[in-house]
Amino acid sequence: MRKLVFVFISVLLFFSGTALFAEGKADTSDKTVLTYVYWGSPAEDKAIKNALSAFEGAHPGITVEPMYLPGDLDGSTYNAKMKALAASGKLPDVGYFRPEEFGNYAEKDFFLKLDDLIARDNMDKTYIPQTWLKIEGNTYGAYTAAECQVMWYNKDVLKEAGVPLPPTDYTKAWTWDQFVDYLKMITIDTNGKHPGESGFDSGNVARYGVSYDLWSAMYYPSVWSNGGGIISEDGKSVLLDKPETIEAFQNISDLMNVYNVMPLMSGGTNISPSIMMANKQLGFWVTGQWTLLELGAMKNLNLGVAALPIMKKPAQIYLSGVNVVFNSSKNPEEAWELQKWMMNPEKTLDLYTSGLWMPTKESFYSSEADLAKWLDNDVHPEGYREAVVNSMKISVNEPIKIRNINQIWGDYLNAAVESIWIGKSSAKDALTEAAEKIRKSGLLQGTY
């Protein structure tokens, strides 16, 4: 009897013990295993996996395990996952990191300091200066790619609507008023009437002029183009209630609520503009340049690219995910090798020719031979170089080093901006109120 009890308890303890202290499977092979973490669309997932396989092929001693976290637009799922991994000490070796959380983690020493490695491998001369992300003078990460805002359009739709093809030189783009006039020409309801004509039915629009992606980074170019700002660069003051900022937001809101040339926001989800554009239900789409990966693969879409419309002056944003090597990596040398591989367009050319990324390597902007490597193909439409690549000259980095920027957006800005988009309040009222609240919130604590 007593024996039975003893056995029973031992078995129980054994099981609970193994459950508690079970660590990851022991690595018995002599191969180095690296985990590469990233987000992105299914197409991006495929492209990254190919690049990682190529790396394995070139480095027989190293196995790379992809950790793909299909992200949401604002990256909160990715951030949550990273926090959980960090708290449980299971961070991967190398990979993507959300830019708005970069400073926070860099400050707390989660990333490998790259300065010595960059100097050793002569990386600082060969990459464009915006690539390296520094916190207090030390480099902790590199932008994954050069990415920005673009305006795509369906050439067939513009021809049908009798709209002239837009300029591609980013300094000579359409003015905002011209742009709105052309959008009215493209937009028609199911009875073939345009906005402004009597009897136009805004509830049943067959074809819209434009769709703007509505999330934080996509607002900056319009705001900057109008001479406004959101939070000052030092993270200490709010520029949200400047008249220029208000006007920029009101302009985009009017596209939806006054001129009816843009689909209304629907729960953050609408029919994907890429599908609408391919179906000729949409003329222009203002979005991130990475969408070319999807659009370039659509064979029946007659894709064009236009310079972004100018409110007061040309503007462009430089944004991207960040690539980091985690400090907890047991193989920092190999992890750095992998990061260099992913940063080198020569090795991962598919990621650039397919339209997903623009390179960070300097020669791919300055040398004609290198430019041809990634731009001369069926994916990149005519004029891409003038409208997009050249506009990077005036690009301003996305302000990611402002402390609490996540909460400022999450608790105040998103709500204010949404109330403008759904036509509930004017840009002036919403932004003035939000600016006051942010000033009072105590969240403005400078930068990392």
Partner 1 sequence: MSFKKRGMNDRRQNLWGWILISPLVMGLTLWVVFPMGLSIFTSMTRWDMISKPEFVGFQNYIEIFTKDELFLKSIRNTVYFTLLSVPMQMLVALMGALLLNSSINGKGVFRTIFYLPSLIPIVVSSIMWLWMYNHQYGLINFFLNNLGLDKVKWIDSTEMVIPSLSIMNIWNIGNVIVIFLAGLQGIPDDLMEAVEIDGGNSWHKFHFVILPLLSPIILYNMIVSLIKCLQLFVEPYIMTNGGPVNSSLSFVLHIYNNAFKYGKMGMANAMAWVLFILTMFISLIIFKTSDQWTYYEGDKK
Binding site for partner 1 (CB under 8 A): 5, 8-9, 12, 16, 74, 76, 79-80, 83-84, 86-87, 104-105, 108, 110, 203-205, 263-271, 404, 406-407, 410-411, 414-416, 418-419, 421-422, 424, 437, 441-442
Q: How far is the CB of 202 from partner 1 (least distance, A)?
A: 10
> Based on CB atoms, which residue is closest to partner 1, 29 or 269?
269
> Based on CB atoms, which residue is closest to partner 1, 84 or 372?
84
Q: Half-sphere exposure of residue 381, counting CA atoms within 13 Å on the CB side?
A: 25
Q: How far is the CB of 74 from partner 1 (least distance, A)?
A: 8
Q: How far is the CB of 429 from partner 1 (least distance, A)?
A: 12
Structure tokens at 35: 């985990």
Strand partners, 205: 189
| Cα–Cα distance list, 94 to 110, 171, 296, 336, 405 (Å) | 11, 38, 29, 8, 24
> Based on CB atoms, which residue is closest to partner 1, 24 or 203?
203
Q: How far is the CB of 412 from partner 1 (least distance, A)?
A: 8
**Cα 193 to chain centroid, rounded:** 36
Q: How far is the CB of 265 from partner 1 (least distance, A)?
A: 7
Q: 364: exposed, middle or buried (C-beta count within 10 Å: 0-12, 13-18, 19+)?
A: buried
| Cα–Cα distance list, 297 to 93, 186, 288, 303 (Å) | 32, 25, 16, 11
Q: How far is the CB of 157 from partner 1 (least distance, A)?
A: 18
> Based on CB atoms, which residue is closest to partner 1, 157 or 379?
157
> Based on CB atoms, which residue is closest to partner 1, 74 or 93?
74
List the beta strands (DSSP E) in 24-171: 32-38, 62-68, 94-97, 132-135, 138-143, 149-154
Residue at token pair 């490597």? 373
Please give the Cα distance from 356 to 53 (Å, whole number): 18
DSSP-derived secondary structure letter, 413: I
> Based on CB atoms, which residue is closest to partner 1, 276 or 315?
276
Phi-psi region of 442 (alpha: psi -120 to 50; beta: other; left: phi over 0): left
Q: How far is the CB of 98 from partner 1 (least distance, A)?
A: 11
DSSP-derived secondary structure letter, 111: B
3-state secondary structure of 150: strand
Q: How far is the CB of 267 from partner 1 (least distance, A)?
A: 5
282-288: strand order across its sheet: 188-189, 205-212, 282-288, 149-154, 303-306
> Based on CB atoms, which residue is closest to partner 1, 80 or 298?
80
Expressed in angstroms, the distance from the first to the final Cα of the chain is 66
336: number of Cβ within 10 Å: 20
List Cβ neighbours of 190 (8 Å cut-off, separation of 6 or more).
201, 204, 205, 206
- Percentages (nearest 5) of helix, strand, coil residues in the chain: 45, 20, 40
Please give the Cα distance from 30 to 395 (Å, whole number): 46
Q: How far is the CB of 311 from partner 1 (least distance, A)?
A: 25
> Based on CB atoms, which residue is closest to partner 1, 249 or 357?
249
> Based on CB atoms, which residue is closest to partner 1, 263 or 314?
263
> Based on CB atoms, which residue is closest to partner 1, 1 or 26?
1
- Strands 149-154 and 303-306 turn out to be antiparallel
Q: How far is the CB of 205 from partner 1 (least distance, A)?
A: 8
